[in-house]
């Protein structure tokens, strides 16, 4: 097992640069999730680590070894593909044992390892079947088995759960978590699903447009998003974004107001903010409370009652909408006027270029 080090990794297709200098260090045994919208470069980055994609610039180290020009098969990585990529003409047994066979592993050792893996993944009864005779979840298991059996230094997962139905996805997610704990292996996981990222990761790398937006633990990203992109991407329902103006600043506080939000004072330590400048206020739906004295007022458009919380969407007077997740069961109905307040310490402020203040 080994860690991983990426230094100024770049990738271009012709004149188009899709990965624009990624620096990242992954410790041995860490579970790292690359997350971002479609086309942000997360899969490309993973494939560059695997060796399936050439790198245009930078260095990749796996353990102590520079692997830029090392063939995929010699990198000590195993990958689980979104499509599972099982060999259709082979049984599960042969699929799992294929790499060992190519490595000319002794037949008895091979058999033992395959059966061990089958036991770990609870698929012993599937060994004689062909991939076409398996369900999506079973195929996924075989694909993971094929990766485990090689005892790689690094596991790579390319959106492995996206072809499964919702319930199975939750099960497999837990299983992956357990597997990571059992194997203690370094795992890199690509997804566009932020719930997967939040639940699985030790460390999340948020990518957009080929640039790392933020690296941190799930809660760091949630509590202190580095910029508006991360703020909007992490958390569900999405963070509400409102333009505000700075009315006055004091030591450790600023007072703001906007067209839709009444005057309110927030804690803020930044000395660089001038009164009169424009900022962006980010409020997570969970930060809101129903408060008759609240600073946000609007008409309720939509009510979703989930039992433990009530999600409401209200339309403010400038026609923008705000989503709030109120704790417990609310008796608000569509058409009602709602007044919302929020805890000042849960407000996020961003400057004109979208960076966190």
Partner 1 sequence: MNAKLQSLLARALIVILMGVTLLPFLSMFSAALAPSGTYPYGLQWPSDPQWINFVKAFEVANMGQLLLSSTLIVVGVVPVSVLVSTMAGYGLAKLTSDKYKWLYLIFVAGLTLPFEAVITPLYYEVRALGLLNTRFAIILPLIGLYMPFSVYWMRAHFLNVPKDLTEAAQLDGATRWGEFWRVQVPLARPAIMSLSILLFLWTWNQFLLPVVLVRDPMQRTMAGALGAFQGQWGTDVPLLCAGSLMILAPTIILFLLFQRQFVAALMQGAVKG
- Strand (E) or helix (H) holding 234: none
89 binds partner 1 (CB under 8 A): yes
Return the structure tokens found at 146: 């094929």
- Terminal C-alpha separation, the chain: 39
79 binds partner 1 (CB under 8 A): yes
Give the pairing of strands 77-80 and 154-158. Answer: parallel
Nearest Cα to Cα of residue 68 among 10, 1, 13, 26 = 10
Size of interface with partner 1, in residues (CB under 8 A): 23
Integer Cα distance of 220 and 203 in angstroms: 9
58 binds partner 1 (CB under 8 A): no
Task: Find the binder of partner 1 among 98, 115, 202, 232 (CB under 8 A).
Answer: 98
146 binds partner 1 (CB under 8 A): yes
CB-CB contact of 148 with 183 (8 Å) = yes
Minimum Å gap between C-beta 89 and partner 1 is 4
* Omega before 13 within 30 of 0, i.e. cis: no
Minimum Å gap between C-beta 16 and partner 1 is 16
Task: Find the binder of partner 1 among 81, 130, 255, 301 (CB under 8 A).
Answer: 81
Task: Find the binder of partner 1 among 83, 133, 259, 265 (CB under 8 A).
Answer: 83
Alpha carbon distances (Å) from 92 to 123, 293, 356: 9, 63, 50
Task: Find the binder of partner 1 among 88, 307, 328, 335 (CB under 8 A).
Answer: 88
CB-CB contact of 158 with 194 (8 Å) = no
CB-CB contact of 197 with 218 (8 Å) = yes
Give 93 or 233: the residue with its C-beta nearer to partner 1. Answer: 93
Minimum Å gap between C-beta 51 and partner 1 is 8
Give 68 or 82: the residue with its C-beta nearer to partner 1. Answer: 82
Minimum Å gap between C-beta 280 and partner 1 is 41
Binding site for partner 1 (CB under 8 A): 50-52, 71-73, 77-79, 81-83, 85-89, 98-99, 102-103, 146, 150
């Amino acid at each position: 097992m080994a860690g991983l080090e990426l230094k100024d990794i770049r990738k271009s297709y012709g004149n188009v640069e899709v990965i624009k200098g990624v620096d990242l260090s992954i410790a041995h045994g860490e579970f790292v999730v690359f997350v971002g919208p479609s086309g942000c470069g997360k899969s490309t980055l993973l494939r560059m680590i695997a060796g399936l994609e050439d790198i245009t610039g930078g260095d990749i180290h796996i353990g102590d070894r520079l692997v830029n020009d090392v063939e995929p098969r010699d990198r000590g990585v195993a990958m689980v593909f979104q499509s599972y990529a099982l060999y259709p003409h082979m049984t599960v047994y042969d699929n799992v044992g294929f790499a060992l066979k190519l490595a000319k592993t002794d037949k008895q050792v091979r058999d033992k390892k395959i059966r061990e893996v089958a036991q770990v993944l609870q698929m012993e009864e599937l060994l004689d079947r062909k991939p076409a005779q398996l369900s999506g979840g079973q195929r996924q298991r075989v694909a993971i088995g094929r990766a485990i059996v090689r005892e790689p230094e690094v596991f790579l997962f390319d959106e492995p759960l996206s072809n499964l139905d919702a319930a199975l996805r939750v099960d497999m997610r837990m299983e992956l978590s357990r597997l990571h704990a059992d194997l203690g292996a370094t795992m890199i996981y690509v997804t566009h699903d932020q719930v997967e990222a939040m639940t699985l990761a030790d460390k999340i790398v948020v990518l957009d447009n080929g640039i790392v937006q933020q690296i941190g633990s799930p809660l760091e990203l949630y509590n202190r998003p580095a910029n508006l992109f991360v703020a909007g991407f992490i958390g569900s329902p999405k963070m509400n974004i409102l333009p505000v103006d700075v009315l006055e600043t004091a030591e450790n506080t600023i007072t703001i107001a906007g067209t839709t939000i009444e005057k309110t004072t927030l804690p803020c330590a930044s000395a660089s903010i001038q009164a009169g400048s424009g900022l962006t206020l980010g409020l997570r739906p969970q930060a809101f409370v129903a408060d008759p004295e609240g600073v946000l007022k609007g008409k309720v458009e939509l009510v979703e009652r989930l039992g433990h919380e009530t999600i409401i969407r209200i339309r403010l007077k400038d026609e923008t909408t705000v989503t709030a997740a109120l704790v417990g069961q609310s008796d608000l109905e569509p058409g009602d006027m709602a007044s919302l307040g929020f805890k000042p310490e849960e407000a996020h402020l961003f400057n004109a270029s979208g960076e966190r203040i």
